[in-house]
Structure 1
Amino acid sequence: MRIAMIGQKGAPAIYGGIERHVEDLSRELTRQGHDVLVYARAWYTPKALKNYHGVKITHTPSLHTKHLDAITGTFTATLHAIFQNYDVIHYHGVGPALLSFIPRIFSPKTKVLVTFHCIDRYHQKWGLLARLVLWLGEKAACTFPHQTIAVSQTIQNYCLNEFKRQTDFIPNGVVTSVAKGEVLLEKFDLEKNKYLLMVARLVPHKGAHYLMTAWHLAREQNPELFKDYKLAIVGGSTFTNKYVKDLQQIARGDKSIVMTDWLNGQILEEMYANCALYVNPSENEGLPISVLQAMAYGRPVLLSDIPEHQEIIDDHNFLFRNTNIISLAEKITNLIKDEKLRANRGQVNLKLTGEKYHWEKLGKETADLYTKNDNIDTRLKIA
């Protein structure tokens, strides 16, 4: 099949869960023999890059602003795609889903899908108008495409309850990883199994401020326990410079907090593979790939107790009350004290990702969905 991916910033993934999802899915579909093209925005993917591990890359322009980048990039990609005779056009995210009606009208023989990655309007960075537009995007994701994919059962239930749409549940996945070296950790003065790790866009709903404050509290209460440990925050701004400055202010003067900015490649792999504990304090998620990635390296993960996280981990030892700094500090302390508990959970996580979240399985499920109900009515109907 000839398949186009639209809605992501580009490939390969520099940062962003959707970008990582699209890269890994596209590479797996290509490995299975499909012809896959990923649309990219010039500011994210170098224009000279036209092919990445067999995945074709086509650049289209966008207006690189907080509110217009995604929708304009999606629009130009869609205009290009409807003239390419793709078998499948696959949109990613509820914002891009707003335009998924275009190929339904102008390329009626093309199968159109949308993956609903996250309920974006819950994110604190958006104002009232943006949240309304994102709600319309959710409705579009559940109205325009032939098929809608939900990456979590929480989102699947949301689509059914809010929009009466039956969706197909295909979770995010990870590429099974092997242990990496630890040489590059020296760049940030980090030691194997002596740091906690968070990898995320530095936006308020991801909760880095909760983690940093809880870290201070845990260290104050147990200085001897934490004297050799550090907290590494990997990530940077996405139109959230003020928030990043606030985080830098929290970390100012504390040598135990390391803020690395964006990382990728081997150094990021080393960060995952050698952390004592991975922490995701997010207030809202789809199904976080960064958490799955840490699990794929056999690392224990400590998560806020939001429903999406509880789909991954159901062990109360590794869940804390969402937004509760005291609860987070207590769980960090308990887990650093209990190395055996962390090691055992890490092995459980490694096995779980290999069984449930590997891309060979998820790529086949996605490809099967591309051909599901091939005799469906191609006319767009909006009830």
Structure 2
Amino acid sequence: MKIGIEAQRIFRPHKHGMDIVAVELIRALQVIDNQNEYFIFVKPDEDSTCISETKNFHIVEVPGGNYVFWEQIMLPIYARKYGIDMLHCTSNTAPIFLTVPLILTLHDVIFMEKTVGKNTSTNYQKFGNLYRKWLVPKIVRKCQHIITISEVEKANIIRVLGLQMNQITVVHNGVSGRFGIKPNSEIINQTKRELNLEGDFFLFLGNVEPRKNVTNTVKAFVAFAEINTHVQLVITGLKPTFVSDILTEIGKLSFLNRFVFPGFVTENVLLTLYAEAKVFLYPSFREGFGLPILEAMAFGTPVVTSNISAMPEVAGDAAFLVDPYSVEEITAGMTVAYENDKLRQQKINSGFLRPSMFTWQNTAQKMLNIYQSKLSD
């Protein structure tokens, strides 16, 4: 069988969640399947070494302009050129005019829902959401099968798009074995020096999307920091002005020096931050899965996350679950995770067990079973 996998953005240097999922799925499929022939369709970019060709995995660089033109025009042309039997599109959208069977990974339908709080999305993100809102209701009717990443999201997709249970299969994301392997002391010390981390710190993976709940997280940390004067908060992916505006609004700009802003971080830096953080904060309003929860747990870092959406499905009983709409409850979660040694250790011990339930090998095997089942229909 010739299986095409759309992985348009995986060569870009600053990868986001869906890009990472596609990369890890391809790597895991390369380990377990040496029978089928794969064609990985990517857009040329800087990081062309994130995956490698093998005997039955071919990397096909597809030229094109913006991602809509690449997906709707160029991808179908190359799918026909290589004579694939099935195309798996990995990131919510797919070509509307396609002549081969289509499997779509629909990570979530967040883009179909009303924005929570002030919309701070970039123009690029807003355009992407409009594109998905227009395309996805049409494309799901053309799919041979749909994959999503959590039971919660399956229910959301059925509710929002009116699909049937048997049209969708849940295939959980996995966590890489790299998470849990602590960087050597030289890398750790270098990272701490570069970021001026001198004592205890919490970690929060920031994003301008409203659903990431930056405002409540910042407010909650300030309340915590007023009592715990030696703890810093590392926020990746955000500029200082984003947080300073929040602090100014609540009259706490003097706390800006308690925040550390490394911007986009490399994997080595991220591994160090996960490993060395005293608490990992993930009180999001809405997630399709929540992979960072497992990544932090693999390092034995206590997690404070939301008691809604997909977070409880991923975290189980191994995290401190809080109401993300309540600043006071987020602060309380931080305090217990940091100060209650007995409960903290219980969560750490439970957290070490969670990643083994979500592996990329399992993900790849389930996907392979779906490929083979649908191609034989």
Q: TM-score, normalised by structure 1?
A: 0.81
2:177 aligned with 1:185, yes or no? no
Cα distance in 1, alignment partners of residues 260 and 361 from structure 2: 35
- Partner in structure 1 of residue 159 of structure 2: 161
Q: Contact (CA 8 Å) 2:4, 2:41: kept in 1 or not?
A: yes
Q: Contact (CA 8 Å) 1:197, 1:271: kept in 2 or not?
A: yes
Q: CA deviation at 1:204?
A: 2.3
Which residue identity is paired with 2:135? G
> Which of 282, 304, 307 is the matching residue for 1:305?
307
1:67-86 equivalent positions in 2, closer than 5 A: 69-75=66-72, 76-86=74-84
Q: CA deviation at 1:343?
A: 2.8
Q: CA deviation at 1:269?
A: 1.1
Which residue identity is paired with 1:287? F
Cα distance in 2, alignment partners of residues 322 and 230 from structure 1: 20
Cα distance in 2, alignment partners of residues 8 and 277 from structure 1: 34
Q: Kindly tell me: are residues 187 and 170 of structure 1, through their superposed partners in 2, closer, same or farther at Cα, counting changes over 3 Å?
A: same
Q: CA deviation at 1:364?
A: 0.6
Q: CA deviation at 1:143?
A: 1.6
Cα distance in 2, alignment partners of residues 290 and 37 from structure 1: 29
> Which of 147, 168, 192 is the matching residue for 1:149?
147
2:113 aligned with 1:119, yes or no? no
Specify the SS of the correspondent of 1:255: helix
Structure 1 residue runs of 5 or longer lacking an equivalent are 64-68, 238-243, 377-383
Specify the SS of the correspondent of 2:14: coil
Structure 2 residue runs of 5 or longer lacking an equivalent are 248-252
Size of the aligned set, in residue pairs, is 348
> Which of 236, 257, 260 is the matching residue for 1:258?
260
Q: Kindly tell me: are residues 60 and 279 of structure 1, through their superposed partners in 2, closer, same or farther at Cα, counting changes over 3 Å?
A: same
Cα distance in 2, alignment partners of residues 53 and 129 from structure 1: 32
The root-mean-square deviation of aligned C-alpha atoms, in Å, is: 2.8
Specify the SS of the correspondent of 1:168: strand
Q: Kindly tell me: are residues 298 and 50 of structure 1, through their superposed partners in 2, closer, same or farther at Cα, counting changes over 3 Å?
A: closer
- Partner in structure 1 of residue 19 of structure 2: 19
Q: Kindly tell me: are residues 335 and 128 of structure 1, through their superposed partners in 2, closer, same or farther at Cα, counting changes over 3 Å?
A: closer
Specify the SS of the correspondent of 1:307: coil
Q: Kindly tell me: are residues 79 and 325 of structure 1, through their superposed partners in 2, closer, same or farther at Cα, counting changes over 3 Å?
A: farther
Cα distance in 2, alignment partners of residues 212 and 62 from structure 1: 40
Q: Contact (CA 8 Å) 1:8, 1:22: kept in 2 or not?
A: no
Q: Please give the per-residue CA displacement for 1:239-290, whole angstroms capped at 9, x wherever unaligned.
A: xxxxx73324446652221111011221111111221111112222110222
Percent of matched pairs sharing the same residue: 17
1:1-383 equivalent positions in 2, closer than 5 A: 1-6=1-6, 8-11=8-11, 14-34=14-34, 35-42=37-44, 45-46=45-46, 49=48, 52-54=51-53, 56-63=58-65, 69-75=66-72, 76-94=74-92, 96-97=93-94, 99=95, 101-103=96-98, 105=99, 108=100, 111-121=101-111, 122=113, 123=115, 124=119, 125=121, 133-162=131-160, 163-165=162-164, 166=166, 167-176=168-177, 177=179, 178-181=181-184, 182-183=188-189, 184-190=191-197, 194-220=200-226, 222=227, 226-236=228-238, 245-250=241-246, 253=254, 254-315=256-317, 318-354=320-356, 356-376=357-377
Q: Contact (CA 8 Å) 1:12, 1:52: kept in 2 or not?
A: no
- Partner in structure 1 of residue 250 of structure 2: none
Report which stretch shifted further, 362-371 or 321-330: 321-330
Cα distance in 1, alignment partners of residues 39 and 201 from structure 2: 39
Q: Kindly tell me: are residues 56 and 298 of structure 1, through their superposed partners in 2, closer, same or farther at Cα, counting changes over 3 Å?
A: farther
Q: Contact (CA 8 Å) 1:13, 1:20: kept in 2 or not?
A: no
Q: CA deviation at 1:372?
A: 0.8
- Partner in structure 2 of residue 379 of structure 1: none
Cα distance in 2, alignment partners of residues 245 and 277 from structure 1: 24
Q: CA deviation at 1:321?
A: 1.1
Which residue identity is paired with 2:151? Q
Q: TM-score, normalised by structure 2?
A: 0.82
Cα distance in 2, alignment partners of residues 301 and 338 from structure 1: 13
Report which stretch shifted further, 77-86 or 318-327: 77-86
Q: Kindly tell me: are residues 191 and 361 of structure 1, through their superposed partners in 2, closer, same or farther at Cα, counting changes over 3 Å?
A: farther
Q: CA deviation at 1:90?
A: 1.1
Q: Contact (CA 8 Å) 2:280, 2:303: kept in 1 or not?
A: yes
